[in-house]
Structure 1
Amino acid sequence: MVEENIILRIKSKLDDLSKAEKKIGEYILQHSVETVNYNTSELAEKAGVSPATIVRFCRSIGLSGFSQLKIQLYADSSGVAENLYTDITPNEEVTLIAEKLALRFNQSISQTANHLDTNRIEEIAKLLDHCSVIYVYGLGASHVVAEDFTQKFSRIGKPVVNTLDHHLLVSSLINAHEQSLFVAISNSGETNEVIKLTQVAKQRGIHTVGISQNENSTLVKLVDYPVIHHGGEAVMLRSAATTSLISQLFVVDVLYYAYVNRNSKEILNMLKDSKINIQSLFRKENG
């Protein structure tokens, strides 16, 4: 398992906690160093909750108990400047911006890797073997991920249809073969165009995959194969959009390599032939 930073894990889960658990989370974020020295009763008193709520809080953030929380708080606070956990603010030095983003990127990928449903990834990779065409759609930052998906799978011989024109994509989906696959990408899982296109694909009997951060979203509940990623809490300067993008790209990479692994010999030969032909083509043009 990849180690997650406990401070950023608490921040990313705050909105999902109960009111009492949220009070604990907020207290720990403001007093992480002091919390290491408290017992359960002392922390409960400081945060204004019951000791039982401390136990529930630990389980809600994926820990076995308060002892594990203290161990991770101690490990993560050792040698790490507290201001690295804060949002990017105006007039910061580039060095500090880079450190903060690196910390958030590592956290987002760690969370995604630790919670990714690998069985679901294997199911989708197996499904790709029998797909005649893959349709993929993402809007805004998610379109960058759709482009990355298209580039990766196209170069190994999978036909991929990817366009920002959702009207054109609707026409393609209506006439698509049932052996096709539609991959919908939306961080929120509530993007209107993504939902409408997914509904069309479902009506046509096409298999659907949804990549989203929100496991309770409309998209996740609608698709046949939901894939959940993680990626930082929302902040003023949109670092969450940046980290969620990194997490989505990571999911596409995992899916890509899972598929390649199933067909490694054939795909490696294909990539080798492709490289030789491209090099030969450009040598002729330059000659």
Structure 2
Amino acid sequence: MEESIILKIKSKLEELSKMERRLGEYILSHAEEIVDENTGSLAKKAGISPATVVRFCKSIGLQGFAQLKIKLYADVSGENGKIYTDISPNEDVPLIAEELAIRFNQSISQTANKLDAEAVDQVAGMLDACPVIYVYGLGASHVAAEDFTQKFSRIGKAVVHMQDHHLLASSLANADQNSLFIAVSNSGETIETVKLMKIAKQRGLRTVAITQKQDSTLTEMVDFAVFHHGGEAVMLRSAATTSLAAQLFTINVLYFAYVSKHYSEAVGRLKTSKSRIQTFFRKD
């Protein structure tokens, strides 16, 4: 059986440097929380430098922080849990469906409880005042950003959504300063998203983050943040499932909050767009 990483850290503490020992003691006291951290956030919480995290991992015989998180997760999950992924071998379809339904319902309920109604209202007001809305998300967050674009475009809002972050960076650098940039990122640490946010801030745009992390780099940069539930808590996700559902639910709440404040106009635009699409794309 593979040695417990927690026991290994305990046995190595006295051999480590002062800063590495401080990190080791922090990890032992917060083992379950470490799996959700990145190098920077862990270093900040433990009161050490990111370089110390790298040195610590090598001192205990690991290749890097990612390997440490996997081994920690294995320890805190126990041998009978789904240690590495959210899928077990040879599961029956009804069981898969039942488990997913439970996880989706839980994620959406927790997001509904977590949502700050005042923040949603403030963002809805910003959407009303901005001539152009720029929105970006990478990976699964791209799907959420695309859903935002589809919904708000149908009610007449000018939305710019590009997956190519270089092209979007050019657009942001020349955007009207009254425009709004919305960044969708579950972790709040996606490099491309953070860099685009820096451009938006330098340009003087209004900024919003839709994210799970309240202490992320992205959250600290924006004017307003709308938080959702974190979703999956496994090391190697087979796919973004409940986290994506939480993002989509959050965007829907924002959309309906906006539409309810502009009900007649929004419903009129929805009727018009539906009629035009049916007219232009009907079979002759």
Runs of 4+ in 1 over 6 A off after TM superposition: none
Q: Distance in 2 between matches of 1:268 and 1:205?
A: 32
* Alpha-carbon distance change, 156 to 20 in structure 1, aligned in 2, over 3 angstroms: closer
* Alpha-carbon distance change, 20 to 164 in structure 1, aligned in 2, over 3 angstroms: closer
Name 1:174's counterpart in structure 2.
Answer: 173
* Alpha-carbon distance change, 281 to 240 in structure 1, aligned in 2, over 3 angstroms: closer
- 2:188 is equivalent to residue 184 of structure 1: no
Displacement of 1:275 = 1.6
Contact 1:180/1:206 (8 A) holds in 2: yes
Alignment of 1:1-287 (within 5 A): 19=29, 87-235=86-234, 238=237, 241-283=240-282, 286-287=283-284
Q: Distance in 2 between matches of 1:236 and 1:214?
A: 17
Name 2:9's counterpart in structure 1.
Answer: none
SS at match of 2:241: helix
Contact 1:116/1:229 (8 A) holds in 2: yes
| Alpha-carbon displacement from aligned partner over 1:17-76 (angstroms, at most 9, x marks no partner) | x94997xxxxxxxxxxxxxxxxxxxxxxxxxxxxxxxxxxxxxxxxxxxxxxxxxxxxxx
Contact 2:180/2:206 (8 A) holds in 1: yes
Displacement of 1:277 = 2.0
Contact 1:174/1:204 (8 A) holds in 2: yes
Q: Distance in 2 between matches of 1:232 and 1:152?
A: 23
Q: Distance in 1 between matches of 2:159 and 2:86?
A: 38
Q: Distance in 2 between matches of 1:94 and 1:186?
A: 30
TM-score where L is the length of structure 1:
0.68
SS at match of 1:183: strand
Q: Distance in 2 between matches of 1:275 and 1:250?
A: 23
Contact 2:232/2:241 (8 A) holds in 1: no
Q: Distance in 2 between matches of 1:95 and 1:237?
A: 23
Unaligned 5+ residue runs, structure 2?
1-27, 33-80
Contact 2:232/2:242 (8 A) holds in 1: no
Q: Distance in 2 between matches of 1:20 and 1:156?
A: 47
Displacement of 1:179 = 1.2
Contact 2:219/2:225 (8 A) holds in 1: yes
Displacement of 1:271 = 1.0
Identity %: 63
Q: Distance in 2 between matches of 1:212 and 1:240?
A: 17
Contact 1:88/1:237 (8 A) holds in 2: no
Contact 2:231/2:246 (8 A) holds in 1: no
Unaligned 5+ residue runs, structure 1?
1-17, 23-82
Q: Distance in 2 between matches of 1:264 and 1:116?
A: 22
Q: Distance in 1 between matches of 2:30 and 2:237?
A: 28
AA matched with 1:265? S
| Alpha-carbon displacement from aligned partner over 1:2-29 (angstroms, at most 9, x marks no partner) | xxxxxxxxxxxxxxxx94997xxxxxxx
Q: How many pairs were matched up?
A: 210
* Alpha-carbon distance change, 140 to 20 in structure 1, aligned in 2, over 3 angstroms: closer
Q: Distance in 2 between matches of 1:237 and 1:166?
A: 26
Q: Distance in 2 between matches of 1:226 and 1:122?
A: 12
* Alpha-carbon distance change, 21 to 140 in structure 1, aligned in 2, over 3 angstroms: closer
Contact 1:234/1:241 (8 A) holds in 2: no
Displacement of 1:120 = 0.3
| Alpha-carbon displacement from aligned partner over 1:87-115 (angstroms, at most 9, x marks no partner) | 43110001101111110000110111001
SS at match of 2:108: helix
AA matched with 1:194? T
Name 2:16's counterpart in structure 1.
Answer: none
Displacement of 1:280 = 2.2
Contact 1:233/1:240 (8 A) holds in 2: no
Displacement of 1:232 = 2.8
* Alpha-carbon distance change, 94 to 200 in structure 1, aligned in 2, over 3 angstroms: same
Q: Distance in 2 between matches of 1:142 and 1:105?
A: 17
**Structure 1 range deviating more: 272-281 or 167-176:** 272-281
AA matched with 2:214? E
